[in-house]
Amino acid sequence: MRIVVIGGTGLIGSKLVANLTAQGHEAVPASPNTGVNTITGEGLADVLTGASVVIDVANSPSFEDAAVLKFFETSTANLLAAEEEAGVGHHVALSIVGVERPPERGYFRAKIAQENLIEKSPIPYSIVHATQFFEFTRAIADTSTIDGAVRMAPVFYQPMAGDDVAKAVGKAATGTPLNGRVETAGPERFRMDEFFRDALAYWNDPREVVTDPQAHYFGAEVVEDSLVPTGEAELGTITYSNWPGRDEFPK
């Protein structure tokens, strides 16, 4: 089966291409690096020729509210139109657990706009909602640092390895279209402040992690279940303590 992976040279996309290829599929990475641009439409028609499934794991180069909304609206509209023209039978997109609870962040509003376009398209679809990636632990700590301290709310947190994200998306892509959503999360649930306190201690990072119920996550206030599945979810198998990438961060 020919499966085109939009954003196929990125973190999750490259893992998807490797996994799907190992399963015997023709997995094609598509990104500006390979001559495919979903904003301008360059290369889309050619790469989608003969494709049965398209997986969209592309991300906006800017997280500024207006820019990220324009990216997802333009990219998704162009991609869906090209898929319809090519006769693609299944569109798969990666989104975020809790994106709708509520969409205070501009990035979340942009992802909801993306999902709305997918739902309105005639192409059968599956949307995978994933929790935060282990790979972003350092970046999340950095963006939550105020006056040298990492401020974290004591809410539930259930991050997962990028490898498990790729497996969940790949499973959706090779299955029957859901015409709906599936959620995936890590195998362990923590309190967010405790998780980051332990993570920084492991790296010998001197920053204090301050428990702050009013702390924001990328500009939005979070409550108890903002970042975790509230219903049934497929759980990954890689725990944070056993994730090889944890030792790649400087200690």
Report the domain count for the chain: 1
Query: What is the phi-psi region of residue 128: left when phi exceeds 0, alpha when psi lies from -120 to 50, beta otherwise?
Result: beta
The neighbouring-strand residues paired with 145 are 150
Between β-strands 156-157 and 90-96, what pairing exists: parallel, antiparallel or unpaired? Answer: unpaired
Question: pLDDT, tens digit, for every residue of 206-227?
Answer: 999 999 999 988 878 889 999 9
**CATH number assigned to the domain comprising residue 223:** 3.40.50.720
- Residue 41: its pLDDT value, please? 96
- Residue 235: its pLDDT value, please? 98
Residue 75 reports pLDDT greater than 70:
yes
Mean pLDDT of the chain: 95
Residue 250 reports pLDDT greater than 60:
no
**How far apart are the C-alpha atoms of 71 and 80, rounded to whole Å?**
14
Q: Worst-scoring range by mean pLDDT, 99-103, 105-109, 127-131, 214-218?
A: 99-103
Q: What's at 182, amino acid-wise?
A: V
Among positive and negative, which fits the CA dihedral 58, 64, 65, 69? negative
Kindly indicate the confidence band of residue 100, based on its pLDDT and cuts at 50, 70 and 90: confident
Residue 247 reports pLDDT greater than 90:
no
Question: pLDDT, tens digit, for every residue of 142-195?
Answer: 999 999 999 999 999 999 999 999 999 999 999 999 999 999 999 999 999 999
Kindly indicate the confidence band of residue 112, based on its pLDDT and cuts at 50, 70 and 90: very high
Q: What is the mean pLDDT of residues 195-201?
A: 97
Kindly indicate the confidence band of residue 102, based on its pLDDT and cuts at 50, 70 and 90: low
Q: What's at 43, amino acid-wise?
A: G
- Show Cβ contacts of residue 217 under 8 Å, excluding neighbours closer than 6 positions: 140, 144, 153, 226, 227
- Residue 37: its pLDDT value, please? 97
pTM score: 0.95
- List Cα–Cα distances, 176 to 56, 150, 223, in angstroms: 17, 43, 34
Residue 101 reports pLDDT greater than 80:
no
Q: Where in the sequence is the domain holding 157, given as residue range(s)?
A: 2-248
* Two structure tokens written together for 17: 């291409």
